[in-house]
Amino acid sequence: MLTTKEGTITLEGGLKLINVLYVLGLNCNLISMSQLIDDTNCIVHVTNSLCVMQDRTLRTLIGVGERRDGLYYFRGIRHEKVFKVGDMSLFDLWHKRMRHPSLKITQLISNVDSSVTRNKACDVC
């Protein structure tokens, strides 16, 4: 089989590879291990059943390849960002962040309203 085109592909989980070769008639994407490492600067661990890709700096999981019929089938890892902590007052949030100080200490924080009291009793205190 001959490669006829070259392009960029974004895999499941957002992993982007450039200069990927297109082979007409192939029903899957073949990824070069050296290209994967060069393009993503990741670490790859390979066993007889799994191929695990990690970010080199943070060591976070990028993707996993499960071995079937001699090939590792890539499954990307979705990265979610969470911005909402919950329905909690600013006082309660700082109280938990500071490892449950007394009301007197928490009131010293400039952006916490000193008139606010806890919504409910703290389960730790």
What is the residue range of 59's domain? 3-76
Could you list the pLDDT tens digit for every one of the 125 residues in the chain? 678 788 888 887 777 888 888 888 887 777 888 888 888 888 999 999 999 999 888 888 888 989 999 888 888 776 655 555 566 777 777 777 777 787 777 777 766 665 655 555 676 66
Q: Do 43 and 68 belong to one domain?
A: yes
Q: Do 37 and 96 belong to one domain?
A: no
In a domain, residue 122? The reply is: no
Which among 81, 118, 113, 67 has a CA at the least distance from the CA of 96?
Answer: 118
In a domain, residue 23? The reply is: yes
Structural domain count of the chain? 2
Question: How does pLDDT run across 69-103, given as a tens digit for each residue?
Answer: 988 888 877 665 555 556 677 777 777 777 778 77
Longest dimension (CA), the chain: 74
Rg (CA), the chain: 24
Rounded distance between C-alpha atoms, residue 79 and residue 60, angstroms: 10
Question: The whole model's pTM is what?
Answer: 0.53
